Structures are given as C-alpha cells and as structure tokens.
Amino acid sequence: MAEPDAAAARPLRADAAVARPLRADAAVARPLRADAAVARPLPADAAVARPLRADAARNRENVLRAARGAFAESGYGVPLDEIAARAGVGPGTVYRHFPTKEALFEAVVTVRVQDLVADARARADASDPGSAFFGFLARITAESAAKRDLPDAISIAGSLREDLNAALDVLLRRAQQAQAVRADVRTPDLIVLLKGLLASLADIADPARRDLVFAVLADGLRPPR
C-alpha cells in the first residue's frame, strides 16, 4: 500500500513544474528596467534649474547689499526681516543663502576687515611709527561714524580677527619702541579701549565731540610726561 502512495506523489512533481512559467513571468519584469532608464533624462531636466541659479545669485547679491546698509546704519542688532524687506525677498530666501545671522554679518564685513588689515600692515613700514599707530586708530574712529557695525566687525571670531590683532600688535610695538606709546599697554588692552571708544562714539553725532573723545584716548596712550 505504501508503494502506490509513493507513486501517487509523482504527479505532484509534474504540478510543481507548473511553477516554471513563473520564470517567464519574472521576465516580464525586464521591461521595468527599461522603464527605469526613463530616469536618465533627469540630468537634462536639472539643466532647467540653471536660470534659477542666476536668480539665486542676484538674490544673494541683493541680500548682501541690503545687509551692508542695514548693519552700517543700525549695527548688528538689525532684524533679518528688515534686511529681507530691503532686499525685496522673503526671509526664507535670506536663510537659504545665509543659515544664520552671524554668517550674513561675516559675509558683509569680511571685505571691510580685510581692508583694515591691509592698511595696518602697510603702515607698519612707516618712518614715523607713532604717526602710523595713531593714524590707524583715527581711521577706525572716523569709519565708526558711518558704520555702526564696526565694533562687532572687529570682534568677529576667526582668522580675520587674529590677522587684525596681529597687524595692530605690530603697530603698537613699533610705536612703543619709538617711545610714542606708553610701554605698559598690551594689544589686548588696546582692543578693549578701542571697543569702548567705538561703543561710546555710536551715540555721538557731533564731529567735534567725537574728535575730543578720540583725543582723550590718544593722550591716555601716550607716555606720561
């Protein structure tokens, strides 16, 4: 009885062969690979975004131009919404180019600080170290009248601030060697004095008073008589 039962199982193998067409069905999936190739034109579609990149570049420049004016007039505290309004874009556009307010401020003042560094380095070879030193301080004082963000600009952490401090240190040491500046002043002390000077000048509109405040600071830096 067991043998016929075993033989009865043979048709199951034939039935199992019915599963073979599944392989042919699996081949039906091959056109999907061809369909997948439809994604290849996407790079060409990506080229459509090129005009948007030009628009984005214009928007970025508009944001920078508006930020330069806003920061110079109101200092670092100006709201980003106001900068966006000046640039004629939405706040989202500002954040798309500059994810933080610090990033936007740094982008605005980088060129200005680089110019200060270059000026300080150029004065380092002057024949009169005292005049070079006080002349550079006078320039910073004069610029602060039109650019209220200058105190924050010279305080930005990073290589620019280090370059400015190093260039200022050279001017200070040369002026001290020429006995034009008191010997006990260090560069960190000078930075503190400058920040205090610029902060106080921000509230003074009268040029004569500004000159007086600077003159008092300069006299305090000179050697005692």
What gap in Å lies between CA 223 and CA 164, rounded to an integer? 24
Please work out, in degrees rounded to the nearest 5, the angle formed at the alpha carbon of residue 68 by the alpha carbons of 62 and 71: 130
Q: What is the mean pLDDT of residues 103-121?
A: 90
**Tokens at 221, concatenated:** 């830096």
Predicted local distance difference test score (pLDDT) of residue 19: 44
> In the predicted model, what is the mean pLDDT of residues 148-169?
86
pTM above 0.75, yes or no: no
Higher pLDDT, 174 or 196: 174
Residue with the bigger pLDDT between 116 and 3: it is: 116
Whether the pLDDT of residue 65 is over 80: the answer is: yes
- The pLDDT of residue 109: 86
Task: Identify the structural domains of the chain with CATH numbers, from first to last.
Answer: 45-99 (1.10.10.60), 105-221 (1.10.357.10)
Lowest mean pLDDT among 108-112, 118-122, 191-195: 108-112
Distance in angstroms (rounded) separating the CA atoms of residues 100 and 43: 31
| Cβ atoms 218, 178 nearer than 8 A | no
The amino acid that residue 40 corresponds to is R
In single-letter form, the type of residue at position 168 comes to: L
Would you say residue 57 has pLDDT above 90? Answer: no
Q: Give SS3 for 125.
A: coil
Q: pLDDT tens digits, residue range 9-56?
A: 444 444 444 444 444 444 444 444 444 444 444 444 444 444 447 888
Cα 176 to its chain centre, rounded Å, is: 35
Mean pLDDT for the chain overall: 80
Per-residue pLDDT at 205: 81
pLDDT at 46: 42
77: amino acid identity, one letter: G
Q: Work out the percent of the chain whose per-residue pLDDT is above 70.
A: 77
Q: Are 62 and 87 in contact (CB under 8 A)?
A: yes
The C-alpha atoms of residue 113 and residue 119 are separated, in whole angstroms, by: 10
Q: Give the angle subtended at the CA of 94 by the CAs of 90 and 116, to the nearest 5°.
A: 140
Burial 24-59 (b: 16+ CB within 10 A, else e): eeeeeeeeeeeeeeeeeeeeeeeeeeeeeeeeeeeb
- CB 89, CB 123: distance < 8 Å: no
Tens-place pLDDT, residues 124-150 = 999 999 999 999 999 998 888 778 788
Task: Name the nearest CA neighbour of 190 among 159, 154, 225.
Answer: 154
**Pair of tokens at residue 126:** 């002057």
- Is the pLDDT at 204 greater than 80? The verdict is yes
170 has pLDDT over 70: yes
**Is it the case that residue 192 has pLDDT exceeding 60?**
yes
Q: Which residue has the higher pLDDT, 165 or 202?
A: 165
Q: What ranges in the chain are assigned the alpha helix state H?
A: 2-8, 10-17, 21-27, 30-36, 42-46, 50-74, 80-87, 91-97, 101-123, 129-146, 150-153, 159-177, 187-201, 207-221
**pLDDT at residue 44 in the model:** 42
pLDDT of residue 166: 95
